[in-house]
């Protein structure tokens, strides 16, 4: 554009006789003052304080998300990555502007970083929407950061280019290579067993994280990086180049260049990402023996996508696993580190190896298909690469590094990383349960010399799920009782509704759903001595308790929760907080987080609004409580043809007799939630609504819009 044309374009911004056209870049999403010309005038005045010219402001504007924090050593290189990415944007004719969002690190997040993942996704989404950017580079790395950014970016639906910080280099102690955090856990277990002394464990601590960057094994951070590359959103080598390498900076510059191209072509994530993209990502997840956390994150990411929500489930992940071999030899499923994976060819080598199992029609951010991109970038295997990334004909395991289990202990599913089991016979095992009610109970009793436990026992930890803790902490790696560890026991069957670090290993059943913290959960009903078992081949996890006894325990559990809820409300009355379940973000989290099989996202953030029927009380529990003589039938909601929004609420239908006063007296009265549970068409304020039809006749319908404030009663209706 010549000088005259440029000046005319600037003057046009002040021409009040012409309405401002919806613009790109700097003119996008003007602040609402009721006068669009004034909004643009004010925006230009303030941005010029930073020294930008009108020419600069006319360029494609690329936002760069800055997640640097002094509390996040995994992101220590973010300032350097920002500068390199800016260089790429400028060289390609764009204008880069960085802005901050939340930064998360597991070791510096209480109670757990997973508790804050959804908050970060909201921050990311709203800041992408708020800033006038044509495309955005999301710089992240640590475990929950990349999923949070992808969730937010898909919801915001502007061109997105993830740039990860990269893995750290391995350390060394007395000639043995070390890497966070598989070796953190293995060496700590050895220390607990008395195999290492204090001097050893202190020396090891100095070498576990010798550089900045994410964990140097195939943990959650590296898993999500590989998945992001498989989705076609970033350069292949971007998944594995070390954080402290010059290659990492060149990848950042390349990302800046790609961002300008994406800004011009407006390749939107909701158009780019298809079921083929996610099937490829799941294939990679299984082939690398990736983190179990990635299952939760993938489901959350997918359920932000309006066209894909609900179409890819735990069953999809298990089905793809059955035909995908584990071929990457990295800890915790193998022996090596991310630097080895990178030096073996990284994602380029892996995708070429997986070529027959991939959908090559999937699109990439470079506007070509995955097949075209692989054809342009051939890879020739060499001896070292074949030792790290095995041929399909010579895998570490033939299939299913990650498996999905179901059964009467986990009706809605559970997951297990079979490839990380240390004792393979435990993949088909049953034994007496040793139950811990929560992490405090675990800490108090796990090393008690009098604990009634043997290596054949099954360790069960309850109440560490999404709602129960809250935040679903990585406490699923229940420690081996010290008296057994001292005898050389390295692994036991362990079951919980929580998570474990992607760097951890063992025969550990995780993400049991419904979680124990939801009333009526089978997991919450397990007691010491119950026989609990798992059969990976049959994809089953069970507890040997009869249906009648289980129903009785569920009712007892609900009644116990009602008493505890009443006690809590009585305490709140003393301080003037009647009916308040909590405050701030914790209240929001406990009220709206969904279960593991849905991604632990907030119901109001998913593309399919699940608030209308997140949880209901099961018919068995209602009948056990005597709410209605003949019991009730659970009627699910009816959704639109695309499976999206609810067009008719779900309900509980009386089979015989009436709900009437029984419902109010036996449930509402006990838990003092009349404000949230009205009857006869009364509104329950902001928290809920119950409408009754039919005047209490046999066909009476009680429509439930929100039972969240009685969540201690709820079990999933499915």
pLDDT tens per residue across span 674-704: 233 332 233 333 333 233 333 333 322 333 3
Q: Are 367 and 265 in contact, with CB atoms under 8 Å apart?
A: yes
Cα angle, residue 226 at apex, residues 223 and 232 outer, rounded to 5°: 145
The number of domains in the chain is: 4
Q: Are residues 299 and 339 in the same domain?
A: yes
Residues paired with residue 704 on neighbouring β-strands, in sequence order = 690
User: Is residue 41 domain-resident?
Assistant: yes
Tokens of 634: 């659970």
691 and 563 in a common domain: yes
Structure-token pair, residue 88: 């790429």
Same domain assignment for residues 38 and 70: no
Expressed as residue numbers, the domain containing 476 is 402-545
**For residue 595, is it within any domain?**
no
Q: Does 92 reside within a domain? A: yes
In this prediction, residue 488 carries a pLDDT of 96
245 located within any domain: yes
pLDDT of residue 210: 96
At residue 560, the pLDDT reads 75
Retrieve residue 235's tokens. Answer: 């350069």
Contact 324, 288 (CB under 8 A): no
Task: Find all residues with CB under 8 Å of 389, minimum gap 6, and list them.
Answer: 327, 328, 329, 341, 344, 345, 349, 350, 353, 381
Give, for 178, the enclosing helix (H) or strand (E).
strand 176-178
pLDDT at 543: 98
d(CA 500, CA 510): 8
**CB burial of residue 567 (10 Å; 0-12, 13-18, 19+):** exposed
Question: Based on the domain organization, do 122 and 29 belong to the same domain?
Answer: no
Q: Tell me: do 373 and 464 sit in the same domain.
A: no
Indicate whether 529 and 627 sit together in one domain: no
- Prior bond to 450 cis, omega within 30? no
Q: Are residues 541 and 557 in the same domain?
A: no
Q: Are residues 93 and 40 in the same domain?
A: no
Q: Do 347 and 258 share a structural domain?
A: yes
Instruction: Decide if 224 is inside a domain.
Output: yes
- Under-50 pLDDT residues of the chain: 578-580, 610-634, 643, 646-647, 649-650, 652-718
State whether 383 and 436 are in the same domain: no
Judge if the upstream peptide bond of residue 716 is cis by omega within 30 degrees of 0: no
Give the chain's largest Cα–Cα span.
88
The 8-class DSSP code of residue 531 comes to E
pLDDT at 252: 99
Residue 582 in any domain: the answer is: no
Entry pTM: 0.85
- Residues 307/270, Cβ–Cβ less than 8 Å: yes
Establish if 150 belongs to a structural domain.
Answer: yes
Q: Quick one: 155 and 232 in the same domain?
A: yes
Same domain flag for 37 and 106:
no
Q: Residue 174 domain-assigned?
A: no
**Radius of gyration from C-alpha coordinates of the chain:** 27
- What lies within 8 Å, CB to CB, of 400 at 6+ separation is 286, 318, 321, 322, 324, 418, 536
Which among 388, 415, 432 is the end of a domain? 388
- How far is CA 565 from each of CA 222, 324, 356, 580, 668, rounded to the nearest angstrom? 42, 47, 55, 11, 12
Which pLDDT belongs to residue 248?
Answer: 98
Q: How far is residue 635's CA from residue 630's CA, in Å, rounded to a whole number?
A: 16
Smallest CA-to-CA distance from 621 within 535, 544, 525, 513 is with 525
């Amino acid at each position: 554009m010549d000088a005259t044309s440029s000046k005319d374009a600037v003057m046009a911004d002040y021409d009040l006789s012409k309405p401002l056209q919806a613009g790109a870049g700097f003119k996008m999403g003007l602040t609402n003052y009721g006068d669009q010309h004034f909004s643009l005038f004010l925006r230009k005045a303030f941005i010029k304080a930073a020294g930008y010219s009108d020419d600069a402001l006319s360029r494609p504007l690329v936002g760069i998300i800055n997640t640097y924090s002094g509390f996040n050593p995994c992101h220590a290189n973010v300032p350097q990555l920002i500068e390199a990415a800016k260089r790429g944007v400028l060289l390609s004719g764009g204008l880069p502007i960085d802005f901050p969002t939340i930064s998360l690190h597991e070791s510096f997040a209480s109670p757990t970083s997973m508790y804050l993942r959804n908050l970060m996704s909201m921050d990311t989404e709203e800041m992408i929407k708020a800033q006038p950017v044509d495309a955005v580079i999301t710089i992240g790395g640590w475990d929950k950061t990349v999923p949070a950014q992808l969730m937010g970016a898909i919801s915001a639906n502007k061109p997105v280019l993830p740039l990860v910080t990269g893995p750290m280099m391995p350390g060394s102690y007395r000639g043995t290579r070390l890497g966070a955090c598989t070796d953190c856990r293995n060496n700590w277990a050895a220390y607990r067993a008395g195999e290492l002394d204090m001097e050893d464990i202190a020396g090891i601590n100095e070498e576990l994280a010798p550089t900045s960057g994410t964990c140097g094994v195939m943990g959650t951070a590296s898993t999500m990086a590989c998945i992001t590359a498989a989705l076609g959103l970033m350069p292949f080598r971007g998944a594995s180049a070390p954080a402290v390498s010059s290659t990492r900076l060149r990848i950042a510059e390349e990302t800046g260049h790609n961002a300008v191209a994406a800004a011009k072509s407006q390749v939107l994530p909701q158009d780019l990402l298809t079921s083929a993209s996610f099937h490829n990502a799941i294939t990679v997840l299984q082939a690398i023996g990736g983190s179990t956390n990635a299952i939760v994150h993938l489901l959350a990411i997918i359920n932000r996508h309006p066209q894909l929500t609900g179409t890819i489930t735990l069953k999809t992940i298990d089905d793809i696993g059955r035909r995908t071999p584990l071929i990457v030899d990295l800890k915790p499923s193998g022996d090596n580190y991310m630097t080895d994976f990178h030096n073996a060819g990284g994602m380029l080598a892996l995708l070429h190896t997986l070529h027959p199992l991939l959908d090559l029609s999937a699109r990439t951010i470079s506007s070509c298909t995955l097949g075209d991109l692989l054809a342009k970038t051939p890879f020739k295997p060499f001896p070292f690469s074949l030792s790290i990334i095995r041929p399909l004909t010579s895998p570490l395991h033939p299939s299913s590094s990650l498996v999905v289990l179901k059964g009467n202990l986990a009706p809605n599913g559970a997951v297990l990383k079979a490839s990380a089991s240390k004792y393979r016979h435990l993949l088909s095992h049953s034994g007496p349960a040793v139950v811990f009610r929560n992490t405090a109970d675990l800490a108090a009793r796990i090393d008690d010399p009098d604990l009634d436990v043997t290596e054949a026992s099954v360790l069960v930890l309850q109440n560490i799920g999404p709602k129960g803790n809250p935040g679903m902490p990585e406490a699923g790696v229940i420690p081996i009782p010290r008296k057994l560890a001292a005898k050389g026991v390295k692994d036991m069957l362990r079951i919980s509704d929580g998570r474990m670090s992607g760097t951890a290993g063992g025969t550990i059943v995780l993400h049991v759903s419904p979680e124990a913290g939801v009333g009526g959960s089978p997991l919450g009903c397990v007691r010491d001595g119950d026989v609990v078992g798992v059969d990976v081949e049959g994809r089953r996890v069970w507890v040997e308790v009869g249906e009648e006894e289980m129903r009785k325990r569920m009712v007892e559990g609900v009644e116990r929760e009602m008493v505890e809820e009443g006690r809590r409300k009585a305490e709140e009355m003393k301080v003037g907080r009647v009916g308040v379940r909590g405050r701030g973000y914790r209240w929001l989290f406990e009220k709206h987080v969904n279960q593991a099989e849905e991604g632990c996202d907030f119901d109001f953030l998913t593309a399919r609004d699940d608030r209308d029927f997140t949880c209901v009380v099961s018919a068995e529990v209602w009948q056990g409580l005597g709410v209605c003589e003949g019991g009730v039938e659970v009627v699910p909601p009816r959704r639109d043809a695309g499976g999206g929004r609810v067009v008719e609420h779900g309900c509980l239908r009386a089979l015989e007799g009436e709900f009437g006063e029984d419902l109010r007296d036996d449930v509402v009265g006990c838990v003092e939630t009349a404000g949230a549970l009205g009857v006869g068409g009364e509104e329950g304020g902001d928290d809920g609504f119950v409408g009754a039809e039919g005047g209490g006749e046999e066909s009476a319908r009680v429509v439930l819009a929100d039972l969240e404030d009685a969540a201690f009663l709820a079990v999933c209706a499915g």
